[in-house]
Structures are given as structure tokens and as C-alpha cells.
Amino acid sequence: MKAQLNQKAPLLSVSDWVQGTEINFDRLLGQVVLVEVFQVNCPGCFLYALPQAIDLYRKYSEHGLAVLGIATAFEDFDKNNLENLIRLAEHGEVVGETLRVLSQQGKLSAGRLPYRIPFPLAMDRLLRQRGDVTDSVIADFIQNHVPDFERLPKAHQQQIRQQVLNYFQSLDYHAETFERFELKGTPSHILVDKQGVLRDCAFGVHPGLEARIQSLLQE
């Protein structure tokens, strides 16, 4: 089941909860739920999105906001994995580009995050890709990611189809929650209202997120 705005949110699909107890939208009715989706090897997630999520948690968790962190993977599978998520949760350890960039910017203390992520953390369910990539899979991806595809020159269409095929063939895994909510990258957030309805699902950092949450808390 694919997620649709203003419809009941499908449940998150995770393999492991590494911090906090197992939880999902159906057990959080009556609360506004913010899900911060990140990759362990994603400097921007740690520079902007996770600090914002932590700030929102501290401000509004006692006023009806539940915050969850879901670590996903659509690249760098050797770094964006369960082992490194556990290291992050238990010891504040970061890896790869996250370690390099945060070190350069003086954001670490003794090579680790100087803060603890206070909300539940889980690993997106990753499934190994099996079989050939079908034409329908390629067509669905193009429909969701390439506006006005049919208006492009035929040669350009063919080039895009080949690029999408190459992309799928390069994937070792499919990340279920990432694909279920049709996310475009990390960081991304998922926002669900008190009735369990999906109200926002967006890629990047959004300064207006706090105002949106305040509005949903008042509904």
C-alpha cells in the first residue's frame, strides 16, 4: 500500500528498533507524529534535520507530539546499515561522510556527537532485490519522478529509461518505508495527524515544519 496525502497513513515497515519500544501509527492515535527519515551516511541529516527533530521533540513531546527516527538506505549500503545505527544510538558514533563533514565543522566531541538522540530509533526494512527490473517498475518510477515525460523527445525518453534501469540494477536492497512513502531522498519527514492521516511527506529541511506541527496539535 502506497502512502497518499490526506489518507490514512500506512504503517511504517522496520526491521529493528534500536532505541525505545516498538511503536507505529496505529498505537499513536490521538498524537501528532513526526517521523524523521535519515541515513547514517548523510551529513545534511545530522547538520539540519535531526537537530530540528530533537528541538521539536523537546518543545512539544509533552503537548501531544511523538517523534520517531527511521534510518533508511538507498545507497552506501556498507555504511547505512543496522550496525552503524546501533553505534549511533548507543555511543553517538558517526561514519563516512557524516564523520568527515561534522569533524571539519567542529560538530563532534572526541569524534562523537555531543548530544543524544532522545526519541525512538528504528531501521527501515531492507529487502534484497530479486529478479529482473520490469518495464512496469521503470514506468512507475518515471511517472513519479519525471514531470511531462511523454512530452520529451523520444531519444531523451529512451535515455531516461536506461538511466532508471541502471539505477535499479545498482541497488542491492529496497527500503520498504522509504518506497512506501515515495520519498525522494534524505533527510525527509513524514507528518501524521491525531487521526492517523498523512498530512505531509517531504524531502529536505523545512523551516515551516514547526508551525505546521503547532497547527496540527491544535486540531
> Residue holding cell 524523521?
36
- Of 177, 190, 187, the C-alpha closest to 66 is 190
pLDDT digits 0-9 by tens, 184-203? 999 999 999 999 999 999 99
DSSP letters spanning 129-168 = --SPPPHHHHHHHHHHH-TTGGGS-HHHHHHHHHHHHHHH
- Of 163, 156, 123, the C-alpha closest to 22 is 123
Residue 205: its pLDDT value, please?
87
Sign of CA dihedral 175, 71, 1, 127: positive
The CATH superfamily holding the domain 14-126+176-218 is Glutaredoxin (3.40.30.10)
Residue 170: its pLDDT value, please?
62
Q: What's the CA gap between 68 and 81, in Å, rounded? A: 17
pLDDT digits 0-9 by tens, 58-98? 999 999 999 999 999 988 888 999 999 999 999 999 999 99
| Overall pTM > 0.85 | no
Q: Are 201 and 3 in contact (CB under 8 A)?
A: yes
Q: What is the pLDDT along the chain (219 residues), one digit of tens a residue?
A: 799 999 999 999 999 999 999 999 999 999 999 999 999 999 999 999 999 999 999 999 999 999 999 999 988 888 999 999 999 999 999 999 999 999 999 999 999 999 999 999 999 999 876 666 788 889 999 998 998 999 999 999 999 998 888 777 666 678 999 999 999 999 999 999 999 999 999 999 899 999 999 999 999
In total, the chain counts a number of residues equal to 219
Query: What is the domain partition of the chain in residue ranges?
Result: 14-126+176-218, 130-170
